[in-house]
Amino acid sequence: MKVLVIGGAGYIGSHVVKALLSAGHAVTVFDNLSSGQLGNLFPGAGFIAGDIRHPDDINGAFAKGFDACVHLAAFKAVGESMSEPEKYSVNNITGTLNILNAMSANGCKNIVFSSSAATFGQPEYVPMDEKHPTNPESYYGFTKLEIERFLKWYDVIRGIKFAALRYFNAAGYDPSGEITGLERNPQNLLPIIMEVAAGWRKELQIFGQDYDTRDGTCIRDYVHVSDLAVAHVKALEYISSRKESLTVNLGSETGVSVTEMVEAARKITGKEIPAKYVGRRPGDASALYATSALAKEKIEWNPRYSDVDTLISSTWAVYKNAKAPKV
């Protein structure tokens, strides 16, 4: 298939591009390089510079004729979405509507969308399945849930099939070492731990040690980005061949606490990784992890790299040889 990967120069996007190319698809990346970088573009993919906020840009891209798109272009900082919601309205919601309208106008019938576990909000039970109520706690999560609703209507009215992939905590790097682009100013736990291990930051702050969990720190479901990438390929092949849309959770089904992650990182890197406990971060749920039974059943997705050791060692392999990115 000819696939347009929107946001394909970013961290998850470059892994998705590699997986699509390996499966024999023809890939073009569309990206405004706001967080992704041209140097991170995976070899073998074409490139169109453009912005989803500009209808002419995205229309012009779809006019070249694509069978499908993978849409990963979004702002994703939960905290920022609560202080600057307008950015999230325009980029995440309006940008996605521009994509869907361009798909309608140009006859593109398949979209794989990066949704998020942030659509669920505070867990009512764990592991969370797809039937768990959706009450997002952040404006970011709200944008992802709203987009899932638009996708349903464009399916009903325009026959555009979608796969909404609700990622849990994406982490790790391409185990073969072919993708090495670093995120500027990362906000997530594992890259921050790596920056401390590399000596670019003084210490890690652990948000809260009084949660009702086995060691008092929050539990999350970390899933390797190469496993996520394969899920995009399988989901695309599923929706395009069966003409049936899909919403699935993508997690590793294993909860890992913050302290467990730090201790494993100390062992693997051999670095001290200074850490201090500070107060809870507002909005953090104590434990969030998925059941991915539906993804296993529908798209035969079986994560291979999402164990803690592979998550950390594949990430450290990149950080230990890297220079701190300019912020």
Strand 110-116 relative to strand 26-31: parallel, antiparallel, unpaired?
Answer: unpaired
DSSP assignment of 178-229 equals: ---PPPSS--SHHHHHHHHHTTSSS-EEEE-S-SSSSSSS-EE-EEEHHHHH
Q: Does 94 bind ligand UFG (CB under 6 A)?
A: no
Angle between helix axes 225-242 and 11-22 (nearest 10 degrees) is 60
Residue 205 in the binding site for ligand UFG (CB under 6 A): yes
Task: Decide if 88 is catalytic.
Answer: no
In the window 119-158, what residues touch ligand UFG (CB under 6 A)? none
- Tell me how far apart the alpha carbons of residues 324 and 22 are, in angstroms, rounded to a whole number: 30
Q: Is 189 in the site for ligand UFG (CB under 6 A)?
A: yes
Q: Which stretch binds ligand UFG (CB under 6 A): 4-12, 26-34, 107-115, 188-196?
A: 188-196
* Rounded Cα distance, 188 and 322, in Å: 18
Beta carbon of residue 77, minimum distance to ligand UFG (angstroms, whole number): 7
Shortest spacing between CB 106 and ligand UFG, in angstroms: 30
Kindly indicate which of the ranges 56-64, 146-154, 198-206, 301-309 contains the residues binding ligand UFG, using the contact rule CB under 6 A. 198-206
Q: Which of 140, 211, 289, 305 is catalytic?
A: 140
Interface with ligand UFG includes 206 (CB under 6 A)? Answer: yes
What does the alpha-carbon distance between residue 70 and residue 73 come to, in Å, rounded to a whole number? 9
Q: Which residue from 181, 43, 127, 141 is spatially nearest to 296, judged by alpha carbons?
A: 127
Query: Does residue 168 belong to the site contacting ligand UFG (CB under 6 A)?
Result: yes
Nearer Cβ to ligand UFG (76/161): 76
The Cα–Cα gap between 123 and 187 comes to: 22
Listed ranges 56-64, 110-118, 128-136, 149-157: which one lies at the site for ligand UFG (CB under 6 A):
110-118
Contact between 25 and ligand UFG per CB under 6 A:
no
**Choice from 96, 98, 116, 259 touching ligand UFG (CB under 6 A):** 116
Catalytic residues: 140
